[in-house]
Structure 1
Amino acid sequence: MLSHKLLPKRLLSKTFKQLTLGTLAAILTALPLQAGQRLHFIFGPINISLGIDSLDTFAREGVVTRELADYMRLAGVDDEQKALFREALNTRADINAVQMSRFLNTPTGEAILERVGYLISIRGGRNGKFALRGAMIKAALDQKEGLTLLNVLNNLPVNMQFNLKDILQTADYVDLLGRGTDSVIEEMRELSAQQAKKETPVNFSTLPDIRQPGPYGVAPERVLTLKDEKRQRTFNVLLFQPQKFPEGKIPVVIISHGLASRPQDFSDRAKQLASYGYLVALPQHPGSDFQQVQNMLAGLSRELYNVNEFIDRPLDISYVIDELEVRNNREFGGRLELKNVGVMGHSFGGYGALAVAGAPIDFKKLEEVCGRRIWGPNLSLLLQCRALELPRKEYNFRDERVTSALVINPVTSAIFGSQGLNQVKIPVMIGAGSSDPATPAVIEQLQAFVWVNTADKYLVLVKGQAHVNFSQLDASIKALIDSFPDLTLPKQQILDEYANSILVGFAEVYVSKNEAYRPFLTSAYGQYISQEPNTLYLVGADADVPLSDVFNRLRPGSTPAISSPRVLNKN
C-alpha cells in the first residue's frame, strides 16, 4: 500500500483532474469491458462514450483511432502520457488468480470493489463491483494474456460508466490530503523548532545513545501458549527478557502486532527494550494475524480478519497481564511490576493499545463515517467500518494496570472519534508517517493527538514512513517496488534507530519512572537524531492548539460533497 508521495514523480506532474481518461486507466488498473462495447463518461446530464475497440487497437498496435484522438485531445494527454497509458494497458501483473479470487470474495475485498464500483458502475448506475470482480478473475485465469488492463477490458460482460462527479470529488479528497499532509509537515517542523528553543539545553552527545542496545543483554526468547477458557481462545506469546535483570522491580511492556503481522515482526523492538532491563511480551492475535491471511489465501477461511478481533485484541492484552500475574511469584520472585504496564501497538495493534488505555468504540461516529459515499485514500476505513457488524453495546476494555501507551500508525478516526479518544487520560505517544496510505497521518494520528485527553502526550512524525517495514516484504513485492525507477523508499535503518530510541525513552519515563530519561522525549532530541531523507519531528502537548488550528484551516469550500472538511475539523 503506497501513497501518492511514493509514486514516480513523472506521474505526479499534473493533477488527477487534468489527466482524465489516460490517468484513470493507469491508476484504476481494473477497468474491464468486452471489445465492441463502450465506456460511458457521465457528468450530470452529459453522457459521452468511447468504444473499447479503440483502446484495444491503441494497446496492441499503438494506433490512435480518430475517436480516441478526440478524447486524448479533450483530456490534454501529451506524448509521454500516451506512452504511459499504453504501457498501463499492456503491463501484465503476475498474480495468483485463485488467491486473488479468494481475497476479492472476502468482506474486505468486496468492500474495496464496492467503493470502486461507485466510481465505475454498470451502465445505468448500478454498482459495478460484481462485474469488475468477474472480469479481473477471468483475466487472471487467462494463461496466455494474463491480468492486464486490456485483458480485463475485454472480459467485462456489460457496458460500464465512469461517474465523473464522484471521481473528481475523490480526486479533490486526494488533493486535500496531500495539501494537508504538506501543511502538517511544515507546521511540525516549525513547532518542533519552537519547542526546542524553549527547552533546557542538553548536550546529547554526553548522554547514553539509546539508539543502541542497552547494558543488560538479551536472553533467548521464550514462547508461551495461553488459553483463555472464558473466550475459548488459544494464542502464543513471545517473551523477551534481559540476560540478567537489574535490581528492583522488573518493568513490563506488551507489544501488539498489526493486521496480517506476527509477534516476531517486532522482535527487534522487544530485544531493544529487554536490553534495558524490561520483560517484553508479544501476543499473537489469531484471527487477524499473518496465519489468518495465509488461511484465507489457501481457501481455509473467507475472512482476511475476523470481526470479533475488535473485542479479542484488547482482551488478549489484558489476558497476558493476567498470565504474568499468575507466573510472577513462581518465575520472577514477585518482582514484575504489573500495576504499571506499558503497551505498544502498531496499526490494528494501536487500536488495541488505545482501547485498553480507555478509548471506547463510538458506533455513532462509525455510522457517520462509514455511511459516506466517498471515502478517499484512507484504507484503514476498510478495517474500522467492519466494527459495525459487532453487537451494539458499550464496550469497556480499559485496563487500569496499563498506565502508558505508545502507538505507531494506529487506526483511530472512525472507530474512536473525538469522543472516544477524549477518554484516554494516561500518557500517550503517537507515531505517524507522512507517506502512510493505510492510516494517513492527517486523518488517523494527528487528529488523535489533538483528541487524546492528557497533558503527557507526544506526537512523532517521520517523513517518508509508509506504515510497513519494507525490509520484511516478500521477494515478489520487493521486485514490484524495485521496478519503479523513481520510487523513493524510507531508509529502514534510520526508522529502526528512531523506533529504538523513542521506545526506550518513553518506556523509561512512563513505565520505569526514570526522570533521567525525560530529555529523550524533547523536540531537541528529535532534532538531534533526525536524519535525511526521513526527517523526524517530535512535539509535546504544547502543539495541541496549533495543530488543531491547522486542521481548521484545511476546510476548503471547493469540496462540499466529500467528508474531508469534517475529517480535518477538531470537532
Structure 2
Amino acid sequence: MIFSRISFGKKLTAISLSFLSLGIFNVKTSYSADNIFFVYSPLIASLRVESLEKFAKDGTVNQNLGFYLNLARVNEQQKAEFRRALTTPVKVDPVLLSRILNTDEAERLLNYFGSVINIRGGSNGKFLLRGALIKSAMEEDGLTLLNVLRNLAVDIQINIPRILNYSEQINLVVNGSDLFVDEVARLGEKEAELSEPVDFSKLTDIRQLGSFSVTNSRLNLLDSTRNRELYVEIFQPAELKGENIPVVIFSHGLSSRPEDFSRWATHLASYGYVVVLPQHPGSDTQQTEDFLAGFSRQIFRLNEFIDRPLDITFVLNELTRLNNQQFGGKLNLESVGVGGHSFGGYTALAVAGAKINFQQLERSCNLEIGNLNTALLLQCRALQLPRKDYNFRDERVKAVFTINPVNASIFGIDGLNNIDIPLFVAAGSYDPATPFVFEQARTFPFLTDQNVYLQLQEGQAHVDFSQLDAGITDLIETVGNLTLPSPYLLDEYTNSMTLAFFQVHLRNEEDYRVFLQSSYAQYLSQGQDFKTFLITSQFLPELRDKYKQFLMDNYDLIFR
C-alpha cells in the first residue's frame, strides 16, 4: 500500500461530501420546472431543463446548453461524465428518504443547499428540493439528478455569488485541514527530538494483550428515577486479584452500541481493568432501527444530551451497589476512568466537568462556514434544550480518554476548561463526522490544564469502515484515490495510548509515562504508511499561535 501525507484535507472533504450527498437525496409535487436561472447580479442566464433531457438521451448539445459547456470549457470526457451524472440512479427507499429529510439534521442540510438553489426571486429553495427529491425517488427511473430537476415544482435560480463564497469556504477547510495535520506532525517530531532517547523495543510491547484472560458478561439495569432501561457489557479479568481494581466506563457514539468497542475493552481488561460499556437508549443502534422502521421521527432523542452523562453516573452508582456481591468488594469506584467515542466523547467530557455553552453553540450554528462542519448536525440540536446551567460532573471520574469527540461548539473553550483532570484527545485526519479542523484542532490548543494529550492518527476516518454495511462501504469506495489504514493498525495506536494513559493517571504506574510521549508515537509509526503523532501540553502554545494566525488570516471568510 502506497500512501502520501499530501492533501489530507482534500480526502477529508471528499468523504464529507459523500456523506452529505447520502443524506440529502430523497422527496413530492405535481408541477415541474422548465428553466434554471443562473444569477450573478446584474447578469441572469437561463438553462432549459429540456436541453438537459436531450443531452442525457442522445448526447445532443443544443445552442442553449452549448453556451454553458463552452463557457466552462468542458471537454468530451467531461461531457460523458456529465451525462452519466444526470442519469445514474441512486437506489433509495422513498419512504425512508422522506423520514430522513424531515429530521432536524436534514433540515440544516436542506437549508444549506437551498441557499444556493433558490425559488425565483431569491427565496431559499429547501422545501422545493425536499419535494423534488422525494417525488424522484418514487418514480420508476429512480432518484437521478435529471429527475430531480424535472420534479422541481417551479423554475429555480442558482445563486452564483453564494456558490463562489461556498467554494472559497471549502478551499479554506481543505487547506486548514492540511495545515493543522502538518502542524501536529511537525510539533510531534519536534517534541520527540527534545525527549531523552528510549529503546522501546526493549520495553513491554503494550500493543499486545496483557497477561489476564478476559471474560465478558451483560447486566440489564433499570434507572427507576428516569424510567430508563439499559444494559451494560462488562469485560474483566477472569480472576479478580488484589484490591482497588481500576474501573473504566466507555460511552459509545451515535447509532452505535457497546459491543462495537469489545476489542478496545478486551485489551484494557487483559491488563487488569474492569471495563464497563453502557448502552445509551435513544442514541444507539436500536434508536436508529426505530427511526428507519418509522417508530421514531428523529435519529436520536433530544434528551440524550442530558441522559447520556446521567447514564454514566447511574452505572457508577449501580457498580457501587453491586461491588460486594458481584465483585467481592474489590473495585475502586472512587477513582474511575471514563472514555468515549464521538457523541460518547461529548458524554465523557460532560461527566469530567465540561459545561454546555449555549452562547458559543448559537454563534457556531449561525456561522455560514458552519454548514461544512458535519458535527454541527448533532450539536446544533442542543439549542432546543431548556437554557440552564447543566452540571454533569461526577467527582469519582479522575481521568478521561476521548476519541473523535464532539466538543468544539457545544462546549467551546470556556466550557472545556472547566475540566481539571487528565484528558486525552485522539483525532483522525480523515474524520468526516467530527472533522479535525472544526472540532479537536479548534479547542485542544486552548486547554489550560497541564495533563492534556493530543494524538492524531493518519487516515483514521471516525469509524471502522470494515464493520459498516455494504451501502456505506460502496459509497466510501467511490471517493477517488482514497486508501484507508488497517483497522488493526489503528487499534494498536489507540489501545497502546489508552493503556498508557490510564496506567499513569488512574493507576499511578509511573513506569508507563514513557509511552505518553511523542517518541513512542514515532516508534509505533515505524515502517507504516499511516502514522500517528502525539503532542503534550508542552507544545500547546505553538499550536495555539498557529490557530490564532489562521483565524486572523481568514477572518472575513470564517465570520462573515
TM-score by length of 1: 0.91
Pairing 1:248–2:243 present? yes
CA RMSD of aligned residues (A): 2.5
> What does 1:86-105 align with in structure 2 at a 5 Å threshold?
86-105=83-102
> What does 1:36-47 align with in structure 2 at a 5 Å threshold?
37-47=34-44
Q: Is the 8 Å Cα contact of residues 9 and 173 (structure 2) preserved in structure 1?
A: no
- 1:453-483 alpha-carbon deviations (Å, 9 max, x no partner): 3101110111211112101101222233345
Amino acid aligned to 2:184 = M
Q: Is the 8 Å Cα contact of residues 31 and 152 (structure 1) preserved in structure 2?
A: no
Give unmatched runs, 5+ long, in structure 1.
13-23, 565-571
- 1:465-504 alpha-carbon deviations (Å, 9 max, x no partner): 1112101101222233345563322322211111111111
**SS in structure 2 of the partner of residue 238 of structure 1:** strand
CA distance in 2, matches of 1:370, 1:537: 31
One of 212, 221, 224 as aligned partner of 2:208? 212
Shift of 1:237: 0.8
Amino acid aligned to 2:537 = A
1:137 counterpart residue number: 134
Once the two structures are overlaid, the 10-residue window that deviates more, 497-506 or 343-352, is 497-506
CA distance in 1, matches of 2:23, 2:161: 17
> What does 1:371-520 align with in structure 2 at a 5 Å threshold?
371-484=366-479, 486-520=481-515
2:3 counterpart residue number: none
Amino acid aligned to 2:164 = L
1:18 counterpart residue number: none
Shift of 1:54: 1.5
Shift of 1:527: 0.4
**SS in structure 1 of the partner of residue 61 of structure 2:** coil
CA distance in 2, matches of 1:60, 1:337: 70
1:168 counterpart residue number: 164
Distance 1:484 1:371, change over 3 A: closer
Distance 1:422 1:46, change over 3 A: farther
Shift of 1:245: 2.6
Give unmatched runs, 5+ long, in structure 2.
1-7
Q: Is the 8 Å Cα contact of residues 361 and 383 (structure 2) preserved in structure 1?
A: yes
**Identity percentage over the alignment?**
48
Q: Is the 8 Å Cα contact of residues 348 and 402 (structure 2) preserved in structure 1?
A: yes
2:318 counterpart residue number: 323
CA distance in 2, matches of 1:481, 1:311: 33
Shift of 1:439: 0.9
1:333 counterpart residue number: 328
CA distance in 2, matches of 1:561, 1:481: 29
CA distance in 2, matches of 1:464, 1:32: 39
**SS in structure 1 of the partner of residue 455 of structure 2:** strand
CA distance in 1, matches of 2:478, 2:415: 42
Shift of 1:374: 4.1
Pairing 1:49–2:55 present? no
Pairing 1:521–2:516 present? yes
1:120 counterpart residue number: 117
CA distance in 2, matches of 1:85, 1:27: 22
Once the two structures are overlaid, the 10-residue window that deviates more, 357-366 or 76-85, is 76-85
2:4 counterpart residue number: none
**SS in structure 1 of the partner of residue 37 of structure 2:** strand
Once the two structures are overlaid, the 10-residue window that deviates more, 394-403 or 124-133, is 124-133
1:69 counterpart residue number: 66
**SS in structure 2 of the partner of residue 77 of structure 1:** coil
Q: Is the 8 Å Cα contact of residues 433 and 465 (structure 1) preserved in structure 2?
A: yes
Distance 1:558 1:314, change over 3 A: closer
Q: Is the 8 Å Cα contact of residues 39 and 160 (structure 2) preserved in structure 1?
A: yes
**SS in structure 1 of the partner of residue 115 of structure 2:** helix
CA distance in 1, matches of 2:497, 2:519: 13
Once the two structures are overlaid, the 10-residue window that deviates more, 485-494 or 233-242, is 485-494
2:284 counterpart residue number: 289
Once the two structures are overlaid, the 10-residue window that deviates more, 415-424 or 108-117, is 108-117
Pairing 1:226–2:221 present? yes
Shift of 1:183: 1.3
1:569 counterpart residue number: none
Q: Is the 8 Å Cα contact of residues 283 and 304 (structure 2) preserved in structure 1?
A: yes
Pairing 1:546–2:538 present? no
One of 296, 303, 310 as aligned partner of 1:308? 303
Shift of 1:106: 1.6
**How many residues get paired?**
548
Shift of 1:78: 3.2
Once the two structures are overlaid, the 10-residue window that deviates more, 359-368 or 108-117, is 108-117
2:11 counterpart residue number: 5
Once the two structures are overlaid, the 10-residue window that deviates more, 297-306 or 468-477, is 468-477
**SS in structure 2 of the partner of residue 276 of structure 1:** coil
1:15 counterpart residue number: none
